[in-house]
Every structure is written in structure tokens, then in C-alpha cells.
Amino acid sequence: MTFQLSEKSLRRLEGVKPDLVKVVKRAIEITPVDFVVVEGLRTKERQAYLLDAGKSRTMKSYHLTGHAVDIAPIVDGKVSWDWKYFHVLADAMKQAASELGVKLTWGGSWKTFPDGPHFQIERS
């Protein structure tokens, strides 16, 4: 089954670096689990809020420059926060990045503060 990004997900990719947008668009074509773009480019105010809420640990987030995106799996029509699905999405994102020659880092592989929805590319 091939999935497609919703209009909402596409809007959330506005301001995200083109290479990362290409990875997300390719990943939706090859993933066995549907997903939604939760967040792309962030304002400093939004980042400060997430830091204060304990949902981020930095004001130097790659989201601030459009070098990061958060995606979440859709299972039975709803967003799921079950880690097993984030691993499936990570595989699709990594495969897409490899096909496109884009170096990608998955936040779910971080040793401290693992972040399953988070994917980022290097800042240029």
C-alpha cells in the first residue's frame, strides 16, 4: 500500500530544507506504516515553550533552521506513540535518505533523551 502526505502534513513542511522534504516525500511512498508530519520549522517562541515544558533540551534545535522534522505513525486512523512504529518509520526515512544521498540522523537513536519522531539533516 502506498500512502500520501495530507495537505496538513505538506503545510507543516513549509520552511523545511528541500533535501529533508524530499526524504519525507520519498519515505511516505515506501513506508509500510502511514505517518503524519507533526512539526517542521519552529519559531523561537515555540522552541522556548517546548524547552520550558521539558519536551526539548535546547534552544539550538534544528527545527529553528528548517533542518529537522517530527513525524508520527498513524495506526487505525490515530496517531500512535508506540515505539515499535517509530522504528518502522525510521527504517523508511533512512532508506529514503540513502536513496537520495542525504545524510540523516534519527533522534530515536540518541543515547540520552531519545526522540522517536525526530529526524534531522546536517546544517550547511
In the chain the domains, ranked by start, together with CATH numbers, are: 7-121 (3.30.1380.10)
Q: For 103-117, how does the pLDDT look when each residue is reduced to its tens digit (9 = 90+)?
A: 999 999 999 889 999
Q: What's the whole-number mean pLDDT along residues 79-106? A: 97
Helix (H) or strand (E) holding 3: none
Q: pTM for the full model?
A: 0.94
DSSP E strands: which ranges in 1-124?
35-39, 68-75, 78-79, 104-106, 118-121
Q: For 2-51, how does the pLDDT look when each residue is reduced to its tens digit (9 = 90+)?
A: 899 999 999 999 999 999 999 999 999 999 999 999 999 999 999 999 99
CA distance 26 to 81: 22
**CB environment 46-75: b (16+ within 10 A), e (fewer):** ebeebeeeeebeeeebbbbbbbbbbbbbbe
Those residues with Cβ within 8 angstroms of residue 67's Cβ, 6 or more apart along the chain or in another chain: 16, 17, 20, 120, 121, 122, 123
CA distance 95 to 112: 24
